[in-house]
Amino acid sequence: MPMTQTTENELAVRMVGITKRFPGVLANDHINFEARAGEIHALLGENGAGKSTLMSVLAGLYRADEGEIYLHGRRVHLRSPRDAITHGVGMVHQHFMLVPVMTVAENITLGLQRPRFLLNLAQIEQEVADLSEQYGLRVDPKARIWQLSVGEQQRVEILKMLYRGADVLIMDEPTAVLTPPEVEDLFVTLRRMASEGKTIIFISHKLDEVMAISDRITVLREGQVVATVDTDKTSPQELARMMVGREVLFRVEKQEVEKGDVVLEVQGLSALNDKGLPALKNVSFTIHRGEILGVAGVAGNGQREMAEVITGLRKATSGTVRIRGCDVTNCSPRRIITESVSHIPEDRLGMGLIPNLAVSDNVILKGYRRPPLSRGPFLERTAIGRFARRLIQTFDIATPSTETPVKLLSGGNLQKTLLAREISVGPSLMVAVHPTRGLDVGATESVRNLLLKQRAEGAAILLISEDLDEILALSDRIAVIYEGEIMGIVPADEADVEEIGLMMAGVRGEAKPSVE
């Protein structure tokens, strides 16, 4: 479908023939893209379709190998993010561009031309606090980035661009870590910005959000434009079909599985967060073989700390963690791995994988000590290559080769690489934290089916997600956490969305005779 004809003076952004190549990958193949002033333009496509690359060219992070960029009718050469900011283009990235050891306020002002010499940090912190309050993106301006949850870090990224007053605001999965009320607040803000003549380019895999917020939608597939359509003239089913080139099932088929013995037993668990404040308070639950326990809650209510205590990455201050009857409280991660525990962390690239290592090296990180991947102190590269190729084929990982650094893979293929490694060990317990965050509809379908397959094969799965639809679709039971406490545990087939919403807001659910 040809792009909608638009007069030059209406266009805020015009990208013509943009081509960008990486080693072994043609990310953007002569793409033409237009966005009008005063519109919210959604950019859709599978992971690896070239959306983020195209917008990184517009944001000055990459230089196109071919093509031209026009802003408000004038050709520009964007050699750096500073050039882009100078021309009023700001980008909120899916993978955060933050300095961990610096505070929120320092990150938000980093790179600005003013102030040049004297930094009035107290004034900036107040401005950030006011801005965060205004947009409902609450975060402590004095907190250091490493102390924040992924959700809070995403809020900092959004605030950073709002603070700069970008005229063209590129948002790459901005709602992935926001609650439904926060999403609505953000949408109100975006609509107000668009009404003031600003251009919002909204990258999202959530089709319902795209339908709700956008004026027009451009769909990419394999580095090319498939279509640009008016939002009110399309449907989620049509968009999904254009994205992946086939029909997509929007509901997973969850088979009945008979529960087995208890695999994970958590009793009276308490722990502190990175600031030394209580993050978990007397948490208790169990998970059986062949069962998925979903943990629902707003970001920053102890979910990350719960996963880290269970997998040995954080010390508990009290309580016990038992896996298959064995007390592993405060044991090392390596010791817990020996109990056949797999972990899908929320930060797949920063914590789950080693960006600069090859796909083959990343998939052996749990098994490299054992034959046939090693012989004594030496790695067996031939066996490692065979192992990696088998996982790439089994899990349908799109990569130029087994030796490609994982940092060059798309989000969906990063997650498949991580799942391939964690599933290959035959886990008795899998701790999956936001396993489909930021993935397109096709990759989301694939990951959810992999989790259900592990459930059918007898694994116990702790599923931590802020996507309530995902929790409801995959879980056998649902635990709701608020400020580090379990507000209630309910069977998924009896779950009431309103009741869960109330528990997420701190209203304790009705007492249950048993948490099992």
Distance of CA 366 to the CA centre of its chain: 23
Same domain, 409 and 439: no
| Measured distance CA(220)–CA(227) in Å, rounded | 7
Question: 3-state DSSP call for residue 28?
Answer: strand
Tell me the average pLDDT across 212-235: 94
- Inside any domain, residue 417: yes
User: Do 119 and 230 belong together in one domain?
Assistant: yes
Domain containing residue 395: 351-425
> What tens digit of pLDDT does each residue of 435-460 get?
987 677 777 888 898 899 999 999 99
**Mean pLDDT, residues 192-200:** 85
Q: What mean pLDDT do residues 281-292 have?
A: 97
Cα distances (Å, whole numbers) of residue 489 to 113, 233, 297: 51, 42, 12
Phi, psi of 32 (to 5 degrees): -110, 130
CA dist., res. 330 & res. 317, Å (int): 9
Query: Distance between CA atoms of 364 and 360, rounded to whole angstroms?
Result: 7
- Per DSSP, the three-state class of 280 is strand
* Residue appearing with tokens 């639809």: 469
8 band by pLDDT with thresholds 50, 70 and 90: very low
Residue 149, phi then psi, degrees to nearest 5: -70, 165
Q: Are 415 and 434 in a shared domain?
A: no
Q: How many domains does the chain have?
A: 3
Nearest to 363 by CA among 341, 395, 333: 395
What percentage of the chain reaches a pLDDT higher than 70? 92
pLDDT value of residue 150: 67
Which helix (H) or strand (E) segment holds residue 478: the answer is strand 477-482
Task: Summarize the confidence of residues 429-438 as an average pLDDT.
Answer: 89
State the Cα–Cα distance between residues 243 and 246, nearest whole angstrom. 8
CATH number of the domain encompassing residue 313: 3.40.50.300
42 shares a domain with 166? yes
Please indicate, yes or no, whether the overall pTM of this predicted structure exceeds 0.85: no
Residue 415 near residue 439 (C-beta atoms within 8 A): yes
Residues 417 and 437 in one domain: no
Mean pLDDT, the chain, whole residue set: 87
Q: What is the DSSP string of 33-73?
A: EEEETT-EEEEEE-TTSSHHHHHHHHTTSS--SEEEEEETT
* Residue 197 belongs to a domain: yes
113 and 46 assigned to the same domain: yes
In the prediction, which pLDDT does 367 show? 87
